[in-house]
């Protein structure tokens, strides 16, 4: 309910219809492109910079660990934190 009105939580993702957030989550969980995107975005956020081609092996490693953990967010965050890139990152000086 939103302001007393029912919410239509139905939708369509890449041609697959869903009814509500649980079904959408199931669809997204089975989409390898979505999982890789999550891995890339989490790693970029953790590193505090845009990713480059040199980061591809780290992205694959993070994505693999994310998949092994059942695509659960806590496992993704651990994978980022345990990555070589994160553990050896250089802090960027703050802009004045």
**Consecutive 10-residue averages of pLDDT for the chain (96 residues):** 84 93 90 92 94 94 93 94 90 68
pLDDT score at 56: 95
pLDDT score at 94: 65
Cα 41 to the center of its chain, rounded Å: 6
Select from 53, 38, 36, 51 the least CA-distant residue to 86.
51
Model confidence, pTM: 0.76
């Amino acid at each position: 309910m939103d302001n007393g009105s029912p919410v239509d939580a139905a939708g369509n993702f890449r041609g697959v219809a869903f009814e509500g957030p649980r079904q959408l989550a199931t669809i997204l969980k089975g989409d390898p492109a979505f999982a890789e995107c999550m891995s890339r975005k989490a790693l970029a956020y953790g590193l505090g910079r845009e990713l480059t081609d040199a980061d591809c092996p780290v992205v694959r490693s993070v994505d693999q660990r994310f998949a092994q953990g059942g695509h659960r967010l806590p496992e993704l965050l651990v994978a980022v934190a345990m990555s070589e890139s994160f553990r050896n990152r250089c802090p960027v000086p703050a802009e004045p």
